[in-house]
Each structure stands twice: as C-alpha cells, then as structure tokens.
C-alpha cells in the first residue's frame, strides 16, 4: 500500500509527467488511471527503499515483499523506470505489481513481482476486485493477456473482463473463473504466442 501510494504520487509529479502522457495517449482516462491506482517508479536504485526503511519493516519482510532485490552491496529497487500496475486481490488489497519499462532500454518490457507469501501468480487474475460485479451481472468473462488489454476494455465501458497478467494460464486461474461462470471468451493477442496460449 505504501509503495502504491508513492508510485501514484510520482506519476502525478513532474518526474512522472511523460509516463502519464503516455497512458493518456494510449486512450486511458484519468478516472481509470486513478481507479486502478496506476503509478510510476522512477529510474532510481533506492528511492522506494529509503521510504520503506523509515517505516521500520524488518529486512526479511522487505525482501519477502518482492519490491527489492538483495545483492552483495545491499538492497535495491526491483522496479526502475517503469509504469506501475498494482495487482489487487478480490478485496482490493495490493498484493503485487506489474511494471512496464518506460524511457529506458531494457529487454524485459514487462516485469512482474516474484511470488511472495501473499502473491501466488496461479491464483490471481488482474481486475477481479473492480469487475466482479459486472461479471456476475453479465454471466460471462472476457479473458485477456495483459494489464493494458484489460484497461482499454474497461475504458470502452466493457467491465466483465479479467487478465492473466502476462503469466501462463493455470488450473488455479480456471478454478477462479468457474466460480463465476462457464461462459469464457479467450481474447489473447493475435500473435503466435497468443494463439498457442489461447489453444492451451
């Protein structure tokens, strides 16, 4: 929650202005950006680290959060120069993050939190806390791959959607889906990887 608030604040600051404009240019409304708590993590090794240290968490808790990486020189931020997509559970608690690289060269376009005691990738679908009401009303789910896919559907007033957050589709995901409905529309990307994932 502390990291989410910090990333949100940074997106609204001068430092995050280009990232905010990128999201707006992609067609997202300010309302969607706020509702889904999108943020920006600056190109820094230790800004979030310094903030979290003030809160007196144990080194073990900090490492288990998935927000930091431990090296020989100590801890540093996992997410640097990335647009941040908080991943929330059905209750709305932020349990992990996806980060899209922005204004920096990095072969990993998207970086997700590692699995932690509160984040099991195979049991989490992005958007569930926001869209569960619409899913129940529509008795159907449009399943997409990524964060932006889902946000652009929501932006177009289509709310019965969930995303697998760019991870592999699992039995855990299917168990979540069938709690709500058997009417699932798989709308993964049209590239080879997306077609293979959809068939699987």
Question: Residue 66 region, left (φ>0) first, then alpha (ψ -120 to 50), else beta?
Answer: left
* 31: number of Cβ within 10 Å: 10
pLDDT for 56: 84
Question: 62: Cβ–Cβ under 8 A, 6 or more apart, which residues?
Answer: 52, 53, 68, 75
pLDDT for 173: 93
CA dihedral for 135, 149, 126, 88, sign (positive or negative): negative
d(CA 180, CA 188): 20
State both tokens at 196. Answer: 């293979």
In sequence order, the β-bridge partners of residue 100 are 83, 110
Per-residue pLDDT of the chain (200 residues; tens, 9 = 90+): 999 999 999 999 999 999 999 999 999 999 999 999 999 999 999 999 999 989 988 889 989 999 999 888 888 999 999 999 999 999 999 999 999 999 888 888 999 999 999 999 999 999 999 999 999 999 999 999 999 999 999 999 999 999 998 778 889 999 999 999 999 999 998 889 888 888 88
Helix (H, G, I), strand (E, B) or coil at 99: strand
d(CA 141, CA 161): 5
Query: Is there a contact between 161 and 186 (Cβ–Cβ < 8 Å)?
Result: no
d(CA 197, CA 186): 10
């Amino acid at each position: 929650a502390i990291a989410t608030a910090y990333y949100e604040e940074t997106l609204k600051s001068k430092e995050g202005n280009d990232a905010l404009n990128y999201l707006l240019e992609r067609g997202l409304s300010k309302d969607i950006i706020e509702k889904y708590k999108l943020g920006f993590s600056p190109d820094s090794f230790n800004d979030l680290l310094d903030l979290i240290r003030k809160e007196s968490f144990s080194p073990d808790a900090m490492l288990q959060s998935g927000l930091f990486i431990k090296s020989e020189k100590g801890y540093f931020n996992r997410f640097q120069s990335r647009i941040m997509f908080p991943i929330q559970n059905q209750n709305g608690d932020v349990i992990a993050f996806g980060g899209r690289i922005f204004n920096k060269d990095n072969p990993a376009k998207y970086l997700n939190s590692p699995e932690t005691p509160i984040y099991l990738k195979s049991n989490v679908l992005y958007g569930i806390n926001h869209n569960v009401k619409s899913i129940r009303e529509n008795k159907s789910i449009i399943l997409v791959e990524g964060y932006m896919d889902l946000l652009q559907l929501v932006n177009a007033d289509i709310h019965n959607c969930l995303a697998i957050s760019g991870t592999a589709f699992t039995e855990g995901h299917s168990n979540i889906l069938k709690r709500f409905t058997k009417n699932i529309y798989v709308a993964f990307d049209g590239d080879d990887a997306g077609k293979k994932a959809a068939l699987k």
